[in-house]
Structure 1
C-alpha cells in the first residue's frame, strides 16, 4: 500500500563561497579596525563603524558587494565624518587598506577539502557566489577548489530569480538541488523560495546585512554546525510528501 511519500533524489549541491568555503569577513573586520585607526586623530565620532556599515549598505545598489564598494564607502565615510578635512595622505592610506583586501591569504574552512572530495563522487557540485568578478575569481583560483565544481556562477546579488535561473541552467531542477551557505538572507531564504532545499552553516562573523529570520519550520531547510556534517544532513531530508 502506498504511503504517499517518495524518496528525495538530490543530484546537485550548490555552494556559497565566502565564509562557507573560505574565510572572508574576518579580513573586512581587520580593515574596519585599520580604518578607525587612520581616522583617530581626525574625528571622535563614537559611531564611526556604524556609519561605515551604513554607507556600505547604502552603496550596494551602486557598487555591489565586495572590496571595491567597501573601499569607496570608507573614503566616503572618512570625508563625511571629518567635514572633508581628512588629509589626502589618509585617503591614500585608506585606499591602500582596501587594496590589501586582495592580498590576504585564502584560508579554507575546516573539513572543506575532505567534504568536497567525498561529495563529488555522488553529486554535481556548483559554486554560486556574489561580489566583484575579479576578486571572486582570484579567491577561487587561490583556494585550489575550482576543480571540484562543474559550474561557477558569480552574481551581483542572490535572490529568488537568481536561483531559478541558475537551477534551470545547471541542475536537474530545484527540487533536486540543495543550496549551502552561511547567509540566511542570501543563501537560504531565496533558495528555498526558488524551490530547492537549503542547508545553513553559521559563521561567527557573518555580516549583519546577511542576517534574517531562520526558516526553522520549512521542511526543505536544515542547519548544521560545519560543512563536514553536510552529507549526513542532506540524508536527513529523507522523504517528502
Structure 2
C-alpha cells in the first residue's frame, strides 16, 4: 500500500510504503535533504560527556573497524600528499593548544603505573645504540637533507657585543629562568631574530626546548616576548 508524504526539508511530495511501521517511514525525499536537515537540527549543539564516552567505547579495540589493519603504502602516500603544503592558522593552533592544556589534557591528574614505566624504559633501552633503526644514519639528516633546514640561517654572524659577559647579564636579569615555561633557562634568544641587534631589550632567557619552539611562528613569539619584556622590565 503506497501513500504520499511531504519532505520535511524541501516540501516535495514523495511515495512511502504504508505497510512499514510509522516510526520507521522515511521523512525526507532524498539523502541530501536528510543530511541537510540533520545539520541544521544539530547546529550549535554539543554532545554530552556520557554520549561521547559511549561512542568512544563502541569504537575501542576489536570494535574499531580498523582494528588490526594498517594503511598500504599507496594510502600513506595519498594521505601525505593530501596534507602536504597545508598551513594551520594561528587561531586553529591556539584552539588546539588551549584544548590540550590543564584539565583539557586526557592525561591531566594521572600518572603512569610502574608497569607502564618499566615498558617505556625497556623500549628506550632496546632502541639504543646499534638497535636504533637510525643508528649510523645521522649524515642523512645533515644540512639541506634535514626537514628543519632553513637555508643555513643559523650561520648568520652575531654582533661582537653578543659575548659571554652580555649573556650572563641577561641570564642573571631573568634569574636563569625560561620566561615561557618557568623552568631553568640558560640560552639567550634574540627577540626580533636579528643576531646583530644585541640590545638588552632585545634579549631574553629561554630553556633549550622553548628556544627551539621559537624557530616556528616567529611573528607570534616576537609579539609575545616583546610584550613580556616591556611589562616586566621597561614599564
Q: TM-score, normalised by structure 2?
A: 0.22
Which is richer in strand? 1
Greater relative contact order, per chain length (Cα 8 Å cut-off, separation 6+): 1
TM-score by length of 1: 0.22
Max radius of gyration: which structure?
2
